[in-house]
Amino acid sequence: MGESGNSRWQRKKDARPSEILDAALTLFVDKGYRATKMEDIAQAAGVTKGTPYLYFQNKEEIFKAVVRETIVARMQAMSAQLEQLQDASGSQLLHAALEDWWTHIGATRSAGLCKLMAAEATNFPELARFYYEEVIKPARQLLGYVVQRGMDRGEFRPANLEHVIDMLTAPMLMTMIMSHSFGLVPGCCENITRDPLAFLQSALRLTLQGLQYPVSQDLPS
Amino acid sequence: MGESGNSRWQRKKDARPSEILDAALTLFVDKGYRATKMEDIAQAAGVTKGTPYLYFQNKEEIFKAVVRETIVARMQAMSAQLEQLQDASGSQLLHAALEDWWTHIGATRSAGLCKLMAAEATNFPELARFYYEEVIKPARQLLGYVVQRGMDRGEFRPANLEHVIDMLTAPMLMTMIMSHSFGLVPGCCENITRDPLAFLQSALRLTLQGLQYPVSQDLPS
Amino acid sequence: MGESGNSRWQRKKDARPSEILDAALTLFVDKGYRATKMEDIAQAAGVTKGTPYLYFQNKEEIFKAVVRETIVARMQAMSAQLEQLQDASGSQLLHAALEDWWTHIGATRSAGLCKLMAAEATNFPELARFYYEEVIKPARQLLGYVVQRGMDRGEFRPANLEHVIDMLTAPMLMTMIMSHSFGLVPGCCENITRDPLAFLQSALRLTLQGLQYPVSQDLPS
Amino acid sequence: MGESGNSRWQRKKDARPSEILDAALTLFVDKGYRATKMEDIAQAAGVTKGTPYLYFQNKEEIFKAVVRETIVARMQAMSAQLEQLQDASGSQLLHAALEDWWTHIGATRSAGLCKLMAAEATNFPELARFYYEEVIKPARQLLGYVVQRGMDRGEFRPANLEHVIDMLTAPMLMTMIMSHSFGLVPGCCENITRDPLAFLQSALRLTLQGLQYPVSQDLPS
DNA sequence: GATGAATGAGAATTCATTCAT
DNA sequence: GATGAATGAATTCTCATTCAT
């Protein structure tokens, strides 16, 4: 026939899994885990009901695979990348990390997945632990390392390390949550989701400002 | 307190609806919206399957009512309370607000509801708008007012108001999310949920520090 | 609340389980376990799809309940009954037992259930063990007791007790199997299912004949 | 014998079909008809999913072919063999038949197939008829012939021929059923499956004993 | 002949909701 | 007002079968 795709079966074994995961990612992010039907995933991937089951045991495994293939994979790449910028100052590193994160996660569908992960953590304890070990913990270690080095070098004033890490993370979490919950609802949040990156940078600056040594003598916090 | 809200709470001799909402709140927070069965709500409220339908049209209406009756109601009370502390400094007001929030929301089941609200916003757009109008917007206006006043008075250096509000809000959101998602999973987060209030206060201090005028000569207070 | 006033709908409730089990028994016997759809059971019981699940966890539990309520229950009744005929001879007891069995099991749908049990034993090991403990074992013990007593009294010649029990059981098993497998297929077995009871009695007579002492004294087998 | 059946078995250089049937036999016997997946059959035969369909229309046809090729074929061989022992006594013939049957059917996977056949007869009426015509009927005719001859010769006392045949068959059926149902379940039947052949021989002896003329004068033939 | 990706009808199970009592 | 038995739409998952390669 003249047309390429007119066969009932489009056989793309190698491409299928990632097509399915891609469709699933979008649907999970848009509608949540429970509200996403397997058949919807199949349809969005251009296949029929049964096909996803050829590649994944069940819905839960699809969800796990989506998390693994997107955030976890990206996280590892980011960690590796940041480890090469050893010479930069703490501020520079944190700014670089923020931009990197924004490019590869914050501004992508992955951000919606983070929100979903938070929403569903208690329903998938095993996955939550995995996510914690593979994403949250390494991310926090990386940030902790950078901040601690800054303190050691006198770039930052001493402060509770965990709290600083939380402080650096909170705006990112907020951005992801807001832009994938209220931000998606028409008529909510006209002034919140304007320019998330601007907020993130502003937040980072504010936090770094707070980490500077006061000029005159001040009590350490 | 005003007398206006009494009529609603005076008919407490008929406690059924609020008992149902109370049970629903706990279950929604613990298991999520979808995973909470109507029958579980009924049972937890000490009634039988059909009874909730005598007071609420359906599950969605119960969810909305829960949000309305808990967070929204609490939010309004908090707003009223804060409006009375007009003489305090911006820092003092923000610290007071934080403690108030922590006591009445952050440390209660309501915090779980906020997380749930974020998770389900896209599934209940109407409710999301309501929540945004009744909770998020007023809260931000309140914070915005306090911060703006601080800037006007020279207590804080000028900065993007929306970003500062986001900055003040992010740690609270983070606390709520984490403590009701990963924080509930055994084996996650050994170092995150340690002492949320300490983090919140530390974050506030850090942000306020960042809002101080830099050392160089600037306007006197 | 109280136990007293709810007669009408509760009577319905009480009747449901047995109605469902009754429908299930017939369908299981007719079509086998796998080929019997839950919806068919429901329909045969005059209810809709979901109703059986109000009373039984799942299809497997219905099957187990059917077995329990029919054969096991009947078996226990039979055992109790036979224990009262202590004075009769071995032959008399065995004939009585056969007739009893025929009346209450062999000629009823329960016989089909025995066949089904044999067919599905490996698919439900737990149920098979239960059935073995509650039905097969007691039945064999009962027969064993009667035969042993006959041997002790000199009514029967000595023989391997287990083999005799098998020998007494085999015709019953055969009758049940044949009449619920080939016997149900039109055009099979014109001469097999003629008169099962006649065969059973004939078989018993033949076996008892074989248990008589030969006239001349011969070696025990 | 005739040459007519050769063509089927001569094309054995193409072993595919029989390999598939062999695999199917084992799986059917082990897991039952329904629980045996086509893919499992293919895999056990060392081919892939689609291949069985090159040789058989569908699963049902495979089942039928298995029955045909195993039991039916073996049955015909046995019949032919027994027809050659014309000189022996009835007892001798029956003992020989039993041993033959035990060797080629009772102790092999075919026994499991008999059980399966009984279990599935109503689901495959056409196959049931075929099995009845090709297996059950000839077997009964053979036995009937031997027993009748024994009666005619005065070796056995007169009795209902069909009943005697049933009587001779029942232990074999029982052995096959038990050893492929409860006998396979761990924890069932410690004392049943001990030594099936011993039981079969014992049963035959007992039956033959019952067929002997009583010593004192009894009914004339 | 073989392959194995894809199909899609079908079955089990869940649970929000209704309504006769 | 309350009850709780019953409903039936909705959803997940299975597997015999097909057919392009």
The overall average pLDDT reported for chain B is 87
Does the structure show a pLDDT above 70 at C63? yes
Site of tokens 């099979």: C188
Residue with CA nearest C1' of nucleotide F17: D58
Put simply, the answer to whether A210 touches B210 (Cβ < 8 Å) is yes
Model confidence at D13: pLDDT above 70: no
Question: Is D136's CB within 8 Å of C189's CB?
Answer: yes
- Which pLDDT belongs to residue C126? 87
List, for residues A155-197, the tens digit of each pLDDT value: 999 999 999 999 999 999 999 999 999 988 988 876 555 789 9
Q: Which helix (H) or strand (E) holds A51?
A: none
Helix C90-101 / helix C73-82 crossing angle, nearest 10 deg: 150
Nucleotide nearest to D48 (CA to C1'): E3
Q: DSSP letters along C34-74, please?
A: TT--HHHHHHHTTS-TTTHHHH-SSHHHHHHHHHIIIIIHH
Interchain contact, C189 vs D132, CB within 8 Å: yes
Q: In terms of C-beta density within 10 A (0-12 exposed, 13-18 middle, 19 or more buried), how is residue A219 classed?
A: exposed
In the predicted model, is pLDDT for residue B1 greater than 50?
Answer: no
Residue bearing the bigger pLDDT, B154 or D80: B154
Q: What percent of chain B has pLDDT over 90?
A: 62
Q: Residue D130: is its pLDDT beyond 70?
A: yes
- Contact, C151 vs C208, CB < 8 A? no
Question: In this complex, do A118 and B121 lie within 8 Å of one another by their Cβ atoms?
Answer: no
Residue B65 near residue B29, CB atoms below 8 Å = no
Residues of A in contact with B173 (CB under 8 A): 170, 173-174, 177
Cβ-defined contact of C170 to D173 (cutoff 8 Å)? yes
Of B117, B120, B181, the CB nearest to A122: B181
What is the spatial distance between Cα C136 and Cα B129, in angstroms, rounded to a whole number? 67
Per the structure, the residues numbered 11 to 50 in protein chain C that have their CB within 7 angstroms of any atom of strand F are 12-13, 16, 42, 47-50
The alpha-carbon gap from C158 to the nearest alpha carbon of chain D, in Å, equals 12
State pTM to two decimals. Answer: 0.87
Q: Where on the phi/psi map is residue A46: left (φ > 0), alpha (ψ -120 to 50), or beta?
A: left
pLDDT digits (tens, 9 = 90+) for A35-69: 999 999 999 999 999 999 999 999 999 999 999 99
Name the residue among D35, D174, D203 with its Cβ closest to that of C173. D174
C-alpha to C-alpha distance for C107 and C127, rounded to whole angstroms: 23
Higher per-residue pLDDT: D45 or D73: D45
Q: Is the pLDDT score of D220 beyond 80?
A: no
At residue D193, the pLDDT reads 55
Query: Would you state the pLDDT for residue A130?
Result: 87
Q: Which two tokens stand for residue D193?
A: 């499956």
- The per-residue pLDDT for B89 is 92
Residue B186 has a CB neighbour count (10 Å cut-off) of 8
Which among A116, A170, A215 has CB closest to B174? A170
Residues of D with CB below 8 A from C162's CB? Answer: 191-192, 194, 199
Touching A: which chains, 3+ CB pairs < 8 A?
B
Chains D and C make contact, 3+ CB pairs within 8 Å: yes
pLDDT at res. A213: 83
Which pLDDT score, from 0 to 100, does residue D3 have? 45
Q: Is the pLDDT of residue B221 over 60?
A: no
Calpha distance B123→D93 (Å, rounded): 80
Mean pLDDT, rounded, for A73-102: 88
pLDDT-wise least confident of C83-92, C209-218, D170-179:
C209-218
Alpha helices, DSSP H, located in chain B: 6-10, 16-31, 38-44, 52-55, 59-67, 73-82, 90-101, 109-120, 125-131, 137-153, 161-180, 196-211
Decide: CB of D36 under 7 A of nucleic strand F.
Answer: yes
The mean pLDDT value for D83-89 works out to: 82
Rounded to 10 degrees, the C-alpha dihedral A82/A86/A92/A97 comes to: 10
Contact A115, A176 (CB under 8 A): yes
Least confident piece of the model among A38-47, B81-90, B140-149, D128-137:
B81-90
Minimum mean pLDDT range among B7-11, B53-57, D24-28: B7-11
3-state helix, strand, coil in chain D (%, to 5): 70, 0, 30
Instruction: Give me the residue from A35, A123, A202 closest to B123, CB to CB.
Output: A35
Burial class of residue D74 (count of CB atoms within 10 Å of its CB; 0-12, 13-18, 19+): middle
CA D84 – CA D97 distance, rounded (Å): 12
Separation between Cα atoms, residue C108 and residue A156, nearest integer Å: 88
Does the beta-carbon distance from A164 to B206 stay under 8 Å?
Answer: yes
Task: Report whether D49 contacts D42 (CB < 8 A).
Answer: yes
Q: Give the pLDDT band (50/70/90) at residue B83.
A: confident
What does the pLDDT read at residue A20?
97
Q: Which band of pLDDT confidence, cut at 50, 70 and 90, is reported for residue C15?
A: confident
The 10s digit of each residue's pLDDT in B92-109 is: 999 999 999 999 999 999
Separation CA C138–CA C135 (nearest Å): 6
Q: How far is the CA of C48 from the C1' of E9 (A)?
A: 21
Asked whether the beta carbons of residue D132 and residue C34 sit closer than 8 angstroms, the reply is no
Kindly list the residues from chain B whose CB atom is less than 8 angstroms away from the CB atom of residue A128.
181-182, 185, 188
Residues of A in contact with B121 (CB under 8 A): 181-182, 184-185, 188
pLDDT of D217 higher than 70: no
pLDDT, residue B217, reads: 47
Nucleotide nearest to B37 in CA–C1' terms: E15
CB D182 within 8 A of CB D189: yes
Of D199, D212, D215, which to mutate for an interface test with C (greatest number of C Cβ within 10 Å)? D199
Banded pLDDT at C156 (limits 50, 70, 90): very high
Tokens, residue A8: 């009932």
pLDDT of C192 > 60? The answer is: no
CB contact under 8 A, B198 and A163: yes
With 80 as the cut, is the pLDDT of residue D36 above it?
yes
Q: What is the mean pLDDT of residues C67-71?
A: 90
Distance from residue C59 (CA) to nucleotide F15 (C1'), in Å?
A: 20
| Calpha distance C13→D19 (Å, rounded) | 54
Among C118, C111, C163, C157, which Cα is nearest to C140's? C163
Q: Is residue D63 scored above 70 in pLDDT?
A: yes
Phi and psi for B175 in degrees, rounded to 5? -60, -45
Question: Would you tell me how many other CB atoms lie within 10 Å of the CB of residue A41?
Answer: 26
For residue B127, the model assigns a pLDDT of 86
Least-confidence region, from A44-48, B23-27, B50-54, D215-219: D215-219
pLDDT score recorded for residue C13: 64
Give D83 or B43, the one with higher predicted confidence: B43
Touch criterion met for D and A (3+ Cβ pairs within 8 Å) = no
Query: Is C206–D159 a contact, with Cβ atoms under 8 angstroms apart?
Result: yes
Please check whether strand F approaches the CB of A53 to within 7 Å: yes
For residue B182, give Cα distances in angstroms to A118, A125, D184.
Answer: 7, 8, 47
Number of residues in chain B = 221
Report the residue from B32, B174, B209 with minimal CB separation from A166. Answer: B174
Confidence of residue C7 (pLDDT cuts 50, 70, 90): very low
**Confidence check: pLDDT of D5 > 80:** no
Residue B36's alpha-carbon distances to B33, B63, B130, C169, in angstroms, are 5, 11, 22, 54
Taking only the tens place, the pLDDT of each residue in D131-157 is 898 889 889 998 999 999 999 999 999
- Nearest protein residue by Cα to C1' of nucleotide E11: C37
Nucleotide in closest CA–C1' contact with D54:
E1
- Cβ of A70 near strand F (under 7 Å)? The reply is no
Cβ distance B122 to A181 less than 8 Å, yes or no, reads yes
Residue D92 predicted with pLDDT over 90: yes
User: What percentage of chain C reaches a pLDDT higher than 70?
Assistant: 89
- The model's pLDDT over D40-54, given as tens digits with 9 standing for 90+, comes to 999 999 999 999 999
Nearest residue, CA→C1' of F5: C13
Question: pLDDT tens digits, residue range D157-180?
Answer: 999 999 999 999 999 999 999 999
- pLDDT tens digit sequence for C162-181: 999 999 999 999 999 999 99
Examine the pLDDT at D189 and tell me if it is beyond 60: yes
For A106, the enclosing helix (H) or strand (E) is none
> What average pLDDT does chain A have?
88
Calculate mean pLDDT across residues C123-133. Answer: 89
- Distances in Å between the Cα of D122 and the Cα atoms of A50, D59, D136 are 31, 16, 16
Q: HSE-up of C102 (CA within 13 Å, CB side)? A: 17
Count of residues in chain D: 221
**So what's the pLDDT on residue B11?**
43
Task: Give me the pLDDT at residue B219, please.
Answer: 47
